[in-house]
Structure 1
């Protein structure tokens, strides 16, 4: 099968238009049309439905487009690996993690990573949905549970727990609960147990919400919970790595916490030799170890 025709087909399928594909490829519309028609004749099938509003893939076209997308991903990976060198780390790295860990722990540390590798381009995807690493939705993932996908290299970074915190101002103004039953007199800030989050956090939130606090603030991310705590709105459920990020936070009810939540870093086997992935992995491990040392010393 002609690689050049496949490249042109892929551009047309992405653009949905012969004209737009031609602009991207620096070819005339007629040249693009001839190549697509020749590919259809060679395959003995129709790849596009022609409409006044543009081109729509046929069922056979969708099958071929899936194949060319996979080819492009593989070529991009190979090109990145070829470009990587032992001395120079550069290019794009797609990293995915949860909104809470990404905003509260990872992003505040990225300035140090960029100082070390100024030509690195990070595309940070913050969401609770688990992206498909083998299908290259992301290059590296930091997740709050061990990945179940096959063909991944994984490394446990640390274990975290969800705990209760308040601001010093809130503690001074309102006082703090001395036992769990006292929480009924305080506004609880947490994620709704039904929203996507670590299971241990949802279980703890559900247990504390059942105490029938007269007022609550439910936020769909731990970043929002933190802002509520820092604004003295009430007592919030936050991951315990916040103790290192914001040591002025006041721990509330030290005996109340979730079960352990493992934090894993993972990436596809095919990126084992990528300098960008190795640089990011090593940086995160260094920061985790520094955090643990600070915790042991305090």
Structure 2
């Protein structure tokens, strides 16, 4: 057996599909299928079975998943022990980040990381949902939370402040009492949903959105008020703050990874890079960026 074949099998076992494993490992669907069949031939037994709901492990497949997972931990331990002795760092690093951050404020930081470490293959995966680092869906997760899982290790990079925003002309009319106060129905996350429910207790909304990028687009159309992270709202000239940031709404921006990866050099250098870069932009994340002609209510 080849370790690469076991890595492919682990990806299929964890994802539950060949297409998902192929996407995660950046290889062809046909290659994954062929390597799984070869592995089954070498072992003389079926490892996965196709069901209507996807692929399921056989009893032998479940045993191999456990054994291959232990081998993966050993490989990571060796990599961590030896990697620290070398100045050169290379390999693949998969980072799961939130959509609105990855496509905006984090992208320049990712770009500078790839320039500094050109031999690291940085794979940025966008997801606002739970990502299992134990199942190696990603090596690192960048998440907004005040309660990170205690099974993970990491570092709180900064606080992310939020405020209530609206389009400039809409707010001007609202303050002049010529427009009605209306709120967007925000369903992107539990945080923004609960804050909106508290601010608009009658729950009457003419438009609902389930992503902060959609919230931003709707606000720019003058469709009402909504909470946005300050790094988004303060960066758009069409928007103004309607209410100042309240510390009760602060969320921690965490860089998280599985304890097995704490000694992996790729993870260490990425963590150090993020700490330095985020520190330089802390005012933006914390809502302390100087604003011009800001009228708060």
Give 1:251 shift. 0.8
Aligned counterpart, 1:36 = 43
Shift in CA distance, 207/50, structure 1 to aligned 2, threshold 3 Å: closer
Structure 2 gaps of 5+ residues are 19-29, 291-297
**Hey, what's the Cα distance between the residues in 2 that align with 1:207 and 1:297?**
26
**3-state SS of 1:142 partner:** strand
Tell me whether 1:210 sits opposite 2:211 in the alignment: no
Residues matched between the structures, number = 266
Shift in CA distance, 86/221, structure 1 to aligned 2, threshold 3 Å: farther
The aligned runs of 1:90-169 (5 Å cut-off) are: 90-145=90-145, 146-150=147-151, 152-167=152-167
**3-state SS of 1:265 partner:** strand
Contact 2:173 2:179 in 1 (8 A): no
**3-state SS of 1:175 partner:** helix
Contact 2:95 2:138 in 1 (8 A): yes
Q: TM-score, normalised by structure 1?
A: 0.69
Give 1:222 shift. 0.8
Give 1:66 shift. 2.0
Give 1:133 shift. 2.0
Structure 1 gaps of 5+ residues are 38-45
Give 1:244 shift. 5.3
Tell me whether 1:254 sits opposite 2:244 in the alignment: yes
Aligned counterpart, 2:172 = 175
Shift in CA distance, 8/218, structure 1 to aligned 2, threshold 3 Å: closer
**3-state SS of 1:251 partner:** strand
**3-state SS of 2:94 partner:** strand
Aligned counterpart, 1:227 = 217
Contact 2:158 2:252 in 1 (8 A): yes
Give 1:12 shift. 8.2
Shift in CA distance, 217/102, structure 1 to aligned 2, threshold 3 Å: farther
**3-state SS of 2:149 partner:** coil
Shift in CA distance, 210/88, structure 1 to aligned 2, threshold 3 Å: same
Shift in CA distance, 120/226, structure 1 to aligned 2, threshold 3 Å: farther
| Cα-to-partner distance string for 1:7-57 (whole Å, 9 max, x where unaligned) | 8799789699xx9789549x9x7x974x433xxxxxxxx656999xxxx87
Give 1:202 shift. 2.0
**Hey, what's the Cα distance between the residues in 2 that align with 1:68 and 1:161?**
44
Contact 2:161 2:245 in 1 (8 A): no
Contact 1:6 1:68 in 2 (8 A): no
Aligned counterpart, 1:240 = 230
When Rg is computed on C-alpha atoms for both structures, the one with the higher figure is 1
**3-state SS of 1:278 partner:** helix
Give 1:123 shift. 2.1
Aligned counterpart, 1:65 = 64
Shift in CA distance, 164/72, structure 1 to aligned 2, threshold 3 Å: same
Q: What is the root-mean-square deviation in Å for CA atoms of aligned residues?
A: 4.2
**3-state SS of 1:163 partner:** strand
